Amino acid sequence: LLQFIANGTPLREALMTQAGDWFSTRKASKWERQDDRVVIGQRLSPACYIDQSFPASLYLAWKYHEDFAAAIIANAKVGGDSCHRGAVVGSLVAAEAKRLTGKFDLTQFPAD
C-alpha cells in the first residue's frame, strides 16, 4: 500500500485495489459518518492482534486520508492498541499528504 501511494496512487484507490480481504471500502463508506469509537470497538476490534488491528488501521487511514493530524488524534482516542495502529495509519496518511501537497509538514498539529 505504502509503495503504491508513494508512487502516486491516491490512498483510497490503493486501499480499494491493494488491501484485499483486509479492508472493505463498501463497509468503510457506510461507517465513516459514525463515531470512531463505535466503528473501532463495535465493528472492528481495538486489540493488538494483526487480524484485528490491521483492518482498524486501514479504516482510520481511509476516513482521515486528507488530514494527518486528525488521523493520529482519532487513532489515539479510540484506545486499545493505538501504537501499532498508529504506525500504519501514520505511514499511510503521511504518504498521502506528501502525494497531495508535495510535502509533509509536522507543524499541522493543533497546539492543544
Q: Which tens digits make up the pLDDT trace of 11-64?
A: 999 999 999 888 888 888 889 888 989 889 888 888 887 888 899 999 999 999
Residue 16 belongs to some domain of the structure: yes
Q: What are phi and psi of 53, to 5 degrees?
A: -80, -30
Domain encompassing residue 56: 2-102
Neighbour-count burial for 17-37, b at 16+ CB within 10 Å, e otherwise = eebeeebbeeebeebeeeebe
Residue 111 belongs to some domain of the structure: no
CA–CA gap between residue 59 and residue 54 (Å, rounded) = 9
Place of cell 472493505: 24
Residue 46 belongs to some domain of the structure: yes
Nearest residue to 11 (alpha-carbon basis) of 110, 102, 93, 78: 93
Q: What is the value of pTM for the model shown?
A: 0.83
